[in-house]
Amino acid sequence: MNFTGVSGQLQFDLEKNLIQPAYDVLNIGGTGFRKIGYWSNSSGLSTTEPETLYGKSFNTSTRTPHLYSVIWPGETIATPRGWVFPNNGRPLRIAVPERVSYKDFVSKDKSPPGVRGYCIDIFEAAINLLPYPVPRTYMLYGDGKRNPQYTDLVGQVALNNFDAAVGDVTITTNRTRMVDFTQPYMESGLVVVVPVKQVKSNPWAFLKPFTIEMWLVTGAFFLLVGVVVWILEHRINHEFRGPPREQLMTIFWFSFSTMFFSHRENTVSTLGRLVLIIWLFVVLIINSSYTASLTSILTVQQLTSRIEGIDSLISSNDPIGVQDGSFSWKYLVNELNIAESRLVTLKTMEDYIKALQDGPKRGGVAAIVDELPYIELFMSATKCAFRTVGQEFTKSGWGFAFQRDSPLAVDLSTAILQLSENGDLQKIHNKWLRSSECSMQLNEMDADRLSLTSFWGLFLICGIACFIALAVFFCRILLQYRRFSPETVEGDVEEIELPPRSGRRSLRTASFKNLMDFVDKKEIEIKHMLKRKSSDNKQEASPSSDGKSHSPS
Ligand code: SER
| pLDDT tens for each residue of the chain, 553 residues long | 788 888 777 888 888 888 888 889 999 988 889 999 999 888 888 888 887 777 666 565 556 668 999 998 888 888 877 777 777 778 999 999 999 999 999 999 998 899 999 999 999 999 999 988 899 999 999 999 999 999 999 999 999 999 999 999 999 999 999 999 999 999 999 999 998 866 666 788 888 889 999 999 999 999 999 999 999 888 888 888 888 888 888 888 888 888 888 888 888 889 999 999 999 999 999 999 999 888 877 776 566 667 888 999 999 999 999 999 999 999 999 999 999 999 999 999 999 999 999 989 899 999 999 999 999 999 888 888 888 888 899 999 999 999 999 999 999 999 999 999 999 999 999 999 877 677 655 544 555 678 888 888 989 999 999 999 999 988 988 887 777 654 444 444 444 444 454 455 566 676 777 777 777 777 777 777 777 777 776 666 665 444 444 443 3
Q: Which domains does the chain have, with CATH numbers?
A: 2-53 (no CATH), 90-189+398-422 (3.40.190.10), 303-394+423-447 (3.40.190)
Which atom of ligand 1 is nearest the CA belonging to 168?
1
In whole numbers, what is the pLDDT of the chain averaged over residues? 84
* pLDDT, position 552: 39
Verify whether ligand 1 is closer than 6 Å to residue 518 (CB atom): no
d(CA 163, CA 157): 6
3-state helix, strand, coil in the chain (%, to 5): 45, 15, 40
Verify whether ligand 1 is closer than 6 Å to residue 149 (CB atom): no
Structure confidence by residue, pLDDT tens digits, 130-149: 988 899 999 999 999 999 99
The amino acid at residue 117 is G
Please give the distance, rounded to the nearest whole angstrom, from the Cα atom of residue 327 to the centre of ligand 1: 6
Verify whether ligand 1 is closer than 6 Å to residue 436 (CB atom): no
Handedness of CA 396, 400, 402, 407 (dihedral sign): negative
d(CA 451, CA 462): 17
Q: Residue whose CA is closest, atom 6 of ligand 1? A: 326
Verify whether ligand 1 is closer than 6 Å to residue 323 (CB atom): yes
Which atom of ligand 1 is nearest the CA belonging to 150?
7
Q: Which three-class secondary structure state does DSSP give residue 35?
A: strand
Please give the distance, rounded to the nearest whole angstrom, from the Cα atom of residue 139 to the centre of ligand 1: 18
Beta-carbon neighbour count of residue 195 at 10 Å? 24
* pLDDT, position 57: 64
- Cβ atoms of 241 and 269 within 8 Å: the answer is no
Which atom of ligand 1 is nearest the CA belonging to 188?
1
Verify whether ligand 1 is closer than 6 Å to residue 326 (CB atom): yes
Cα R_g (the chain), whole angstroms: 46
550 by Cβ neighbours in 10 Å (0-12 / 13-18 / 19+) ranks as exposed
d(CA 376, CA 387): 10
Q: Residue whose CA is closest, atom 3 of ligand 1? A: 326
Print burial letters for 132-143: b (CB count within 10 Å at least 16), e (below 16).
Answer: eebebebbbbbe
For a ligand 1 pocket test, name from 100, 103, 188, 326 the mutation site with the most ligand atoms within 8 angstroms of its C-beta.
Answer: 326
Which atom of ligand 1 is nearest the CA belonging to 323?
6
Please give the distance, rounded to the nearest whole angstrom, from the Cα atom of residue 514 to the centre of ligand 1: 89
| C-alpha closest to that of 178 among 329, 409, 328, 402 | 402
Please give the distance, rounded to the nearest whole angstrom, from the Cα atom of residue 360 to the centre of ligand 1: 25
* pLDDT, position 375: 93
The pTM assigned to this predicted structure is 0.59
Region for residue 58 given its phi and psi (left: phi exceeds 0; alpha: psi -120 to 50; beta: otherwise):
beta
